[in-house]
Amino acid sequence: MSITLLFSVLLCAAPLRPALGAPAVDVSSRVESLLGKMTLEEKFGQLQQLDGDAGGDARPEHFELAKKGLLGSTLNVRGAKRVNELQRAAVEHSRLGIPILFAFDVIHGYRTVFPVPLAEAASWDASAVERAAAVAAAEAYAAGVRWTFAPMVDVARDPRWGRIVEGSGEDPFLGAVMARARVRGFQGPRLGDPGRVAACAKHWAAYGAAVAGRDYNTVDVSERTLREVYFPPFRASAEEGVASFMSAFNALNGIPASADRWILTDVLRGEWGFDGLVVSDYTSVQELIAHGFARDGAEAARLALSAGVDMEMVSRLYNEHGPGLMESGGLSQQALDEAVRRVLRLKFRLGLFERPYADEQAEAGVLLSTEHAAAARDMAVRSMVLLKNDGSLLPLGDDRRTIAVVGPLADDRAAPMGSWTGDGRVEDVVTILEGIRARAGARRVLHAQGCGVSDPAAGGIDEAVAAARQADVVIAVVGEDAAMSGEAASRSTLDLPGRQLDLLKALHATGKPLAVVLLNGRPLILNWLDENVPALLEAWFPGGQAGTAVADVLFGDANPGGRLPVTFPRALGQVPIYYAHKNTGRPPSENKYSSKYLDVPVTPLYPFGYGLSYTRFRLAELRLSARSIRPDGRLRVSVDVENTGPRPGDEVVQLYIRDATASAVRPVRELRGWERLSLAPGERRRVEFELTPEHLGALDGALRFGVEPGEFQVFVGSSSVGGLESSFEVVAY
């Protein structure tokens, strides 16, 4: 296609869903009337969020501030009784009785711990993800929490970054769908519905693109990449009516995100029309000084507030310097009032003025209920990805009478919960060993730890080998411990830590059939396992029901159907490696002077979208509803899916496109749809997708990248590699 033929259809942004819990007019008049009564001090007080004790207690100072109407919000204070005590100080003893907004990091469960978000994304099941967020919301609400700092919607393409575990992986399209599901799950149909909480899209923006995968590090990304890769899940959250955004720690293209007017105001409010609340990340206003962006506290407060950060988390620069800045003219009345309005608006929308208190009697009945545990187990099963299975071992047959369950994570209670545990307790966790024992019935189950996760010494490997020798099958549970992923948990290698590979090699040398279960929060380098072990199950950090869910899968009561939401490399040197890369002028080939490595193939070990099953699927008869469409047209893509194997199972049919020639280079493939479906043996079904102009142009409309005439390729398959192919033309009028 020649560029002169370029024809673009401006992408119309989907309208923002109003996040209303009460009629807009009513809320705005109540906000204005309250604002009119507030002193300068009370206004700044509403912009302050302070940290409670990690265990959930408020601090004595909170009560003092609350009585003076100087505490807008807390984080970590939780539990119906504790919340009510502090709330009473604000509602019954302060001059204006403005309730406190209680926040907490409810990331993947509150008391019932669900799989980590990366794992949930691996389910490719948006309804299950929505349900998990709804359960978390119900429990958090019961404990008095009204605002969660989730979902984390950062696209992450560098597995060294520990926080890759908190998001939905490498892809903006998958990330956007999961972001919407989580916002819906947390907030419900209307903000302020009982049993739901306000959500927070974080970390705005591009926190996941930290240089070298080192947490909090600088980010330098072109505006095109921001709009095409990093913004879409945030925009989707805003469209879904998310109540708040969190400004990130990192500097973005030279400007710290917590003082970046372009992202906080021009894009978020100007382009997207977001009218919710922006909270800073933990002390990120204060950190403007260390960034070398603000000279002192007063300047940091001025820069953050005028850029668009409404509420300051933990540092207190707004309160310390705000009144002085107002006096000197450093801050305008309008900027202050606007920030206060956003805080009050959220409190009204949440119904906090009507229902400031938690129901202390109801709390215990909601937390960790049987239904919640069942939902967590189901989510964990859905999120597991079978990376390898030669069929000789899994699912475990009845003939395996003695099972050795070994490895440092086999009986570990902390790792399954991952790094954000909400209010989860280790004693609630079913370990993998316990889950297998419970399911094993009359079989014998032996256990040995073998080694620690990161021990330098070989320790108990001999003991594990001895257990293996007595067994018919060995299940080794290895990976990362809980502290190895999440915030401030970047790693410089992606290898199995410590002596775990030595343990696996020693077990393998016994000649006993060996299945490996991985617990981890990021892609690891698994080359030796892929070459030597007959069965490999990626269980991630599966949450409190780890053991029951792993047993469901190992014994074949459930058939794994999860797919990787992130590429698994062969070598750390390939990072960042992701499926939606661009082709370059010299795509990898036999030719030396093509884009590749001397010492490792250019391909990943396991690609994005990959995952096996205990059954087999066949895709056939890919059909397009037309050979050509107009730029504003739609196209249906359909395919037959058949379960050709012996068991019921789930296939995730994935649709990718490639804009073959465009006025700006497009990725070799872009995910544009999928369906996870369950099929009985021999069952065949037709799956249909619709491609719309929004799918064919860039995902974020602001660069005005429309649908251009020319060829589009279509790929439908079981991962981002291979599959059936076809193509169509977009033709100008």
CB of 75 to ligand NOJ, least distance (A): 6
Residue 280's beta-bridge partner residues? 247
Chain positions 196 to 215 lying near ligand NOJ, rule: CB under 6 A, are: 202
Residue nearest to ligand NOJ (CB): 149
Mask: binding to ligand NOJ, 442-461, rule CB under 6 A, as x and -? --------------------
Residues that bind ligand NOJ (rule: CB under 6 A) add up to a total of 7
By the rule CB under 6 A, 105 interacts with ligand NOJ: yes
Q: What φ, ψ does residue 112 adopt, rounded to 5°?
A: -80, 115
Chain positions 648 to 687 lying near ligand NOJ, rule: CB under 6 A, are: none
Q: Which is nearer to ligand NOJ, 105 or 312 (CB)?
A: 105
- Sheet containing strand 73-75, edge to edge, reads 147-148, 101-104, 73-75, 48-51, 312-313
CB of 572 to ligand NOJ, least distance (A): 25
CB of 104 to ligand NOJ, least distance (A): 8
CB of 252 to ligand NOJ, least distance (A): 15
CB of 49 to ligand NOJ, least distance (A): 9
Q: Write down the residue that tokens 């280790």 correspond to.
A: 426
**Which tokens is 605 given?**
């070990």
d(CA 699, CA 77) in angstroms, rounded, equals: 38
Q: What φ, ψ does residue 13 adopt, rounded to 5°?
A: -65, 140
Q: Of 307, 304, 301, 298, nearest to 267 (Cα)? A: 307
Instruction: List CB contacts of 370: < 8 A, sequence separation 6 or more.
Output: none
Rule CB under 6 A: choose which of 228, 281, 299, 412 binds ligand NOJ. Answer: 281
**Which tokens is 506 given?**
């020693």
d(CA 26, CA 30) in angstroms, rounded, equals: 6
Residue 620's beta-bridge partner residues? 640
Rule CB under 6 A: choose which of 271, 320, 472, 487 binds ligand NOJ. Answer: 487
CB of 600 to ligand NOJ, least distance (A): 33
d(CA 280, CA 116) in angstroms, rounded, equals: 23
Secondary structure class of 400 (helix, strand, coil): coil
Residue 725's beta-bridge partner residues? 715
CA 671 to chain centre: 17
By the rule CB under 6 A, 423 interacts with ligand NOJ: no
Q: Which is nearer to ligand NOJ, 58 or 75 (CB)?
A: 75
CB of 202 to ligand NOJ, least distance (A): 6
Q: Is 266 among the residues known to form the active site?
A: no
Secondary structure class of 316 (helix, strand, coil): coil
The active-site residue, picked from 125, 171, 281, 552, is 281
Q: Which is nearer to ligand NOJ, 102 or 282 (CB)?
A: 282
The DSSP symbol for 209 reads: G
CB of 280 to ligand NOJ, least distance (A): 10
The DSSP symbol for 185 reads: H
Write the DSSP assignment of 18-61 as a string of letters: P--SS-HHHHHHHHHHHHHH--HHHHHHHTEEEE--TTSPPPHH
The CA-based angle 137-139-145, given to 5 degrees, is 70
Taking each continuous run of H as one helix and of E as one strand, the counts in the chain are: 22, 24
Q: Which is nearer to ligand NOJ, 290 or 364 (CB)?
A: 290
Q: Which is nearer to ligand NOJ, 487 or 694 (CB)?
A: 487
By the rule CB under 6 A, 508 interacts with ligand NOJ: no
By the rule CB under 6 A, 75 interacts with ligand NOJ: yes
**Diameter of the chain measured on Cα atoms:** 81
d(CA 312, CA 306) in angstroms, rounded, equals: 12
Beta-sheet pairing, 312-313 with 402-406: unpaired
By the rule CB under 6 A, 78 interacts with ligand NOJ: no
- Sign, Cα dihedral of 575, 577, 581, 587: positive
By the rule CB under 6 A, 711 interacts with ligand NOJ: no
Instruction: For 575-679, list the strands marked E by DSSP.
Output: 617-624, 628-629, 635-643, 649-659, 670-679
Chain positions 137 to 196 lying near ligand NOJ, rule: CB under 6 A, are: 149
By the rule CB under 6 A, 282 interacts with ligand NOJ: yes
Q: Cβ atoms within 10 A of the Cβ of 414, count? A: 17
Q: Could you tell me the CA-to-CA distances from 456 to 361, 505, 672 in Å, in that order?
A: 49, 16, 45
Q: Which is nearer to ligand NOJ, 258 or 389 (CB)?
A: 258
Catalytic residues, by residue number, are 281
| Footprint of ligand NOJ (CB under 6 A) | 75, 105, 149, 202, 281-282, 487
